[in-house]
Amino acid sequence: MTHGTIVITGASSGLGAEMARQFAALGYDLALCARRTDRLDGLQAEIAAAHPGRRVEIYALDVTDDDAVIAVTKKIAADLGGIDKFVVNAGLGKGAPVGKGSHYANKETLTTNVLGAFVQAEAAMQVFREQKRGHLVIISSVTSVRGFPSSMTAYASSKAAVASMGEGIRSEMMGKPDLDIDVSVICPGYIRSEMNEKVEQKVKFMVDTEPGVRSMVEAIEARKAHAFVPAKPWAALGRVMQVAPLKVVRKLM
């Protein structure tokens, strides 16, 4: 029995790929989107073998191509007979200290993580408004709560922007009783993935991909408005980071 349909962008690796595995295990039919369709082919085969009853469709998508995002989302809705959840997950972790001449890395991250996320939300919400139901999921980060230094400045800024976007859309939906549309902002802590596998310095509170993503999936399934995950230690640390002096935040992270 299907649990519904879910779209996951940035599904070719890391957190997106693991979310696909776990949502398939829960009974969802999947629409997996990424630029690297060769990786999606492998993931599709893996999920089909593990869960023969699940439908897994793959779509080539660059989230910085606005027209493609709108068109592909409409195609997914037509192919799958609607969309129950749309997970805005695709993103980059590139960055450089501001003023060091590598602004192009920061711009690329901001373009993908902010503008790309906004157009994904636009596409998903068009479908949800037409359906009069749906669940928009924004993957933000614990770094969204404060400014971060050096190569993390652009990334943290992008995640703060999309967290605000998600809250704004949720606020609007509160005034639309005829629409059954939920919005969740999920803020993962440090979860092992391709994005951070090359980070050489030791990172505090890092968890492995599978349990880390499980905490994300649980928060999404609970349709939480906002969640720091895994809850331990990030629910408490997130609140501390919001009010602590910046010097303290630097030491914590």
Which residues lie closer than 8 Å to 237 by C-beta, 6 or more apart?
A: 142, 189, 205, 228, 252
pLDDT at residue 200, as a whole number: 44
CATH number for the domain running over 4-252? 3.40.50.720
- Catalytic, 104? Answer no
Give the ranges where 84-203 is alpha helix by DSSP (H).
Answer: 103-110, 116-131, 153-174
Active-site option among 28, 59, 155, 190: 155
Tokens linked to 160: 């703060």
DSSP letters, 131-160, are: HTEEEEEEE--GGGGS---GGGHHHHHHHH
State residue 201's pLDDT score: 46
In angstroms, rounded to a whole number, what is the distance separating the alpha carbons of residues 58 and 37? Answer: 7
Q: Could you tell me the sign of the dihedral formed by the alpha carbons of 105, 140, 191, 83, in that order?
A: negative
At position 194, the amino acid (one-letter code) is E
What is residue 199's predicted lDDT score, i.e. its pLDDT? Answer: 46
Q: Tens-of-pLDDT digits for all 253 residues of the chain?
A: 568 999 999 999 999 999 999 999 999 999 999 998 999 999 999 999 999 999 999 999 999 999 999 999 999 999 999 999 999 999 999 999 999 999 999 999 999 999 999 999 999 999 999 999 999 999 999 999 999 999 999 999 999 999 999 999 999 999 899 999 999 999 999 999 765 554 444 567 889 999 999 999 999 999 999 999 999 999 999 999 999 999 988 887 7
pTM score of the predicted model: 0.94
